[in-house]
Amino acid sequence: MGANTEHILINIIEKCLQGDREAYYELYKRYSRSMYNVAYRIVHDEEEAEDVLQEGFISAFKNLGHYRGDATFGAWLKRIVVNKAINAVKRKKMDRFPDDGQIDRPEENEDEFQDFPFTVEKVRSAMDRLPDGYRMVLSLYLLEGYDHGEIAEILGISESTSKSQFNRSKKKLRQLLEKG
């Protein structure tokens, strides 16, 4: 983010803290699309993602005074939205981490997706068919950029479970892709 953009954002946040409704709307316009995408990748449901987005912004606006600026505003907001999305999935009590009888294995080489022969659409479709737990760990790691320690903290699981679920999700994703 450029210095000018950062300065503009600081001004918008200051106006929000003073109760300026237009400033709140400006923050919403700047971040709603990307935060919706983050939420959708985790909850895998359009309506639920919209609810998570609204809950995330409400929480962010209520806690804006706690934003210290030690991370970008977008990163701070993303963390809130990710937590809201994970809570939404937990509330659904879906099969988050299927036990397929495998024991934890060391993390596999991440270069295995080099020369990947599948289109983005096919990968998205296959990800949509993954169990929730697999999809959440895969999304948080590959798409949102969290490491396994952070994922473990966010999901309330061990780091080894995160790594194991990541490996299993890659294997399951490959199986789904190869089936077509």
Domains of the chain from N-terminus onward:
3-92 (1.10.1740.10), 110-179 (1.10.10.10)
Placement of tokens 């659409």 in the chain: 121
Q: How many residues does the chain have?
A: 180
CA distance 112 to 135: 18
Q: Which of 24, 5, 119, 113 is nearest to 77 (CA)?
A: 24
Mean pLDDT of 33-43: 93
Residue pair 174/138 in contact (Cβ under 8 Å)? The answer is: no
pTM (whole model) above 0.75: no
Asked if the model's pLDDT at residue 133 lies above 90, the reply is no
User: What is the per-residue pLDDT for 103?
Assistant: 46
User: What is the per-residue pLDDT for 123?
Assistant: 79
Residue pair 135/124 in contact (Cβ under 8 Å)? The answer is: no
Token couple for 158: 């061990």
Listing DSSP states for 93-113 in one string gives: T---S---SPPP-PPPPGGGG
Q: How confident is the model at residue 35 (pLDDT cuts 50, 70, 90)?
A: very high
Asked if the model's pLDDT at residue 63 lies above 50, the reply is yes
Mean pLDDT of 34-40: 94
